Amino acid sequence: MNQPLLSFPVVDGSADAQLVSLRGLCALSAALSGEHQVVEILRMAGAAVPSLGSCRTLASYRRVDGEFRRDPQERPAQPGLDAQVSAQDGAGSVSVADEKWGWAFVLGSWSGVVGSLIVGSDRAPRPEEIFLLEVLAQVTGAALANAATHERAGLHATELTEINEHLAATVLRLERQARALEVLSGAAAYGQGEQGIADAIAQLTDLPVVVEDLFGNLRAWSGPGRPERYPKTAPEQRDRLLRRLATHNAPLRVHDRVIMLVKPRAEILGTLALIDPDDQVADAQLFALMYGSTMLALELAHQRNLAEVELRLRRDLVDDLASGTDNDSAYARADALGHDLRGAHYVVLVHSASHLEAIAETASRAASAASLHAIQGRYSGMIVLITDRRPDPAAFHHALREGVDTTPITIGISGRCEQPSDFARSFADARRAVHIRQRSRVPDGATAFDELGFYRLVDAAHTQGQVEDFVREWLGALLDYDDNRHSDLVYTLAQYLECGGNYDDSAAVLHIHRSTLRYRLGRIRELTGFDLRDMNVRFNLQAATRAWQFLAVVPDP
């Protein structure tokens, strides 16, 4: 507050003059009480000194943190004055150059000393002048105290405003975080899976969300901008990124993405990323990303645990069905896998020398496409499906060959099985169908046990123990020779008979030259004494070789 001060001259020896000066001080007090700027208060007090007598203002001080600081600083300091004021605690006589008399009037208030006003004169002031200067000092001290109070109140108000703003921001942040927790927890609780969690994060952040597995394959995308063909980074680059994320252990910006590891414990399951090309991700979005990664880690870990439990249940159930188990236990475990084992079922065995994992996935898709409800597992190095209906052999094999380009795929399908306790026989039937198919002219195909015809007669005779005797009667000499010489004359004879005695076809199936085939057939005649041109001999030999294939008494050559 900058107001013009009136000058109140003192008339020597006049009481009226002192009264006028007191009135001026009253007016000054009113003016000072409305002023809250310290510099202005000290300026107004200093300007009033000459109007109260013969003195003039030399300096003014403000006490801050127990020290006297000259204010304003730009006024030239009297040599040694600062030290005198500090030593005298702002009160008493002071020595000032070019001044015959100098005095420090303490500026006090109810709170103590708040400053000091230094005045000088060519003579010692009269008592009434000293009185007026003391009144001025008290008025100024009160004004300074009032200004300090106002300043503190202003600071408190500012601090309170800042606290309220911070509190409001904290409440808003907590509300946003609570909403994020609610949305993400709801997505996980209602079993919406990783896609549901990705959708929830996209809803919270208004940014596209990408979920990738450990190898960089796309698992889920939510939001606009999904590419038709998702790009996959090179394995080396992917490994470097995962190491950076593991070291950083927090959201990391990589180009246009902010990425977070999905890591329930020590094992990395994948990554979660926000697509942010404009680099505008805020704290609330980062919180949604971090909490989303936690929920996603729990979801993926839960899925893995379920898959492992289901795999063990399937493996144990398939093993027990193959070896024989009671109906009630099989029904209960199949129910736990979500499969109704009651009613007719079939065992489907799939054999291949390689790519079993790919074939297993293709077999699962083929069964679903054919509307077959199946339990899938492994048995004796083969893929097994226990289906509620009999698949068409040719169509099922064709579906597998379309999905996998690999070595021959041999499929064996059992007959009808009415209850779990009969599955051991069904497994044996499907396995025999596979073995017979493998030893046929076209091993790449499917064979159903109930379509084997002659081989079913062999199987019936086998249960009575007569098949082995028949095979031994007709092939015994050749079997002994093959065992001792590690040769394959029985297999050669079987393929020759299956080809109807055609030399070219037989040599092609056996992958040998015609002359080699001729030599082997000659050895067969010498060892057995059979005439291969005799129709009855050929019939019995073909029956014996087919029975030998059915029993799988030797492995493939």
Work out the pLDDT band at 275, boundaries 50, 70, 90. Answer: very high
d(CA 254, CA 212): 15
In whole angstroms, what is the distance from residue 91 CA to residue 74 CA?
22
CATH code for the structural domain at 191-304: 3.30.450.40
What φ, ψ does residue 390 adopt, rounded to 5°?
Answer: -80, 120
Residue of 431, 533, 540 lying closest to 476 (CA atoms): 540
Using the predicted structure, report yes or no on whether residue 361 has a pLDDT greater than 50.
yes
The fraction of the chain above a pLDDT of 90, given in percent, is 28
- Answer whether residue 500 shows pLDDT above 70: yes
Q: What is the mean pLDDT of residues 520-535?
A: 91
Average pLDDT over the chain, rounded to an integer? 84
Asked if residues 132 and 52 have their Cβ atoms less than 8 Å apart, the reply is: yes
Task: State the pLDDT confidence band at 10, using cuts at 50, 70 and 90.
Answer: very low
Task: Specify the CATH architecture of the domain 17-153.
Answer: 2-Layer Sandwich (3.30)
Percent share of the chain, pLDDT over 70: 90
Is 39's pLDDT higher than 80?
yes
pLDDT attached to residue 52: 86
Task: Write the CB contacts of 16 (distance below 8 Å, at least 6 apart in sequence).
Answer: none
| Tokens encoding 315 | 């493996």
Q: What is the mean pLDDT of residues 394-420?
A: 88
Owner of token pair 């093993």: 319
Domain 338-452, classified CATH 3.20.130.10, yes or no:
no
What is the average per-residue pLDDT within 40-53?
Answer: 87
Mean pLDDT across the stretch 523-528?
92
Q: What is the pLDDT of residue 11?
A: 43
- What is the rounded average pLDDT of the residues 450-457? 74
List helix spans (H) across 126-226: 127-189, 193-205
CATH 3.30.450.40 boundaries in the chain: 17-153, 191-304
Give the per-residue pLDDT at 353: 84
Element (H, E) at 258: strand 257-262
Does residue 177 surpass a pLDDT of 80? no
Sequence-separated (6 or more) residues with CB below 8 Å from residue 180: 204, 284, 287, 288, 291, 292
d(CA 435, CA 80) in angstroms, rounded, equals 117
Say whether pLDDT at 338 is over 90.
no
Q: Do residues 85 and 105 touch, judged by C-beta distance below 8 A?
A: no
In the chain, the amino acid numbered 458 is V
pLDDT of 460 strictly over 70: no
Q: Which pLDDT score is estimated for 515?
A: 92
Q: What is the pLDDT of residue 101?
A: 92
Burial class (CB in 10 A: 0-12, 13-18, 19+), 280: exposed
Task: Tell me the two tokens of residue 413.
Answer: 């399908």
Number of other residues whose CB lies within 10 A of the CB of residue 196: 20
Instruction: Identify the residue with better confidence: 190 or 344.
Output: 344
Q: Which pLDDT band holds residue 469 (cuts at 50, 70, 90)? A: confident
Q: Is the pLDDT of residue 345 over 90?
A: yes
Return d(Cα 237, Cα 353) in angstroms, integer: 33
Structure tokens at 136: 């001025």
Q: What is the pLDDT averaged over residues 270-277?
A: 92
Yes or no: domain 462-552 corresponds to CATH 1.10.10.2840: yes
Q: Where in the chain is the domain with CATH 1.10.10.2840?
A: 462-552
| Residue 17 pLDDT | 64
Question: Per residue in 192-213, pLDDT tens?
Answer: 788 888 888 888 889 999 999 9
Choose among 265, 260, 261, 271: nearest CA to 233: 271
Task: Note the pLDDT tens digit of each residue in 76-132.
Answer: 677 888 899 999 998 999 998 888 999 999 998 877 888 999 999 999 998 888 888
Q: What is the pLDDT of residues 129-157, one digit of tens each?
A: 888 889 889 888 888 888 888 888 888 88
Q: Euclidean distance between the first and final Cα of the chain, in Å?
A: 114
Mean pLDDT of 57-68: 88
Q: What is this structure's pTM?
A: 0.46
| Angle (CA) 433 435 440, round 5° | 95
Q: Which amino acid is at 46?
A: G
pLDDT greater than 50 at residue 553: no
161: CB partners within 8 A, 6+ apart? none
* pLDDT (average), residues 229-241: 90
- Can you read off the two tokens belonging to residue 179? 């909403």
Residue 24 has pLDDT above 80, yes or no: no
Please give the average per-residue pLDDT across 415-429, as a whole number: 90
